[in-house]
């Protein structure tokens, strides 16, 4: 069974976007052991997609594309 690192933060869009930026950098800089980072990015992208789509903000498309790209790797 895999262990998951849970992120606790204020669920404001600013903090979500900040974590996305941080986790993307960490994910793309790392050569191995990306499973936990991948799962965290998926959760963060989903939160961003949900927030922006609820606000009728087209930025949800950016994170939808990023999410699809994660699944293609």
DSSP 6-66: PP-----HHHHHHHHHHHHHHHHH-SS--HHHHHHHHHHHHHHHHHHHHTT-TTHHHHHHH
pLDDT confidence band for 3 (50 / 70 / 90): very low
| 42 assigned to some structural domain | yes
pTM for this structure? Answer: 0.80
| Residue-averaged pLDDT of the chain | 85
Q: pLDDT tens, 27-62?
A: 988 877 788 889 999 999 999 999 999 999 999 999
| 23 assigned to some structural domain | no
Question: 52 lies in which domain range?
Answer: 35-73
Report the percent of the chain where pLDDT is more than 90: 55
| 56 assigned to some structural domain | yes
């Amino acid at each position: 069974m895999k262990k998951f690192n849970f992120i606790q933060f204020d669920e404001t869009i600013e903090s979500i976007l900040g974590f996305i930026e941080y986790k993307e950098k960490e994910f793309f800089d790392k050569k191995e052991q990306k499973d936990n980072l991948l799962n965290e990015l998926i959760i963060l992208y989903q939160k961003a997609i949900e927030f922006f789509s609820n606000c009728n903000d087209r930025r949800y498309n950016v994170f939808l594309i990023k999410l699809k790209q994660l699944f293609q790797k």
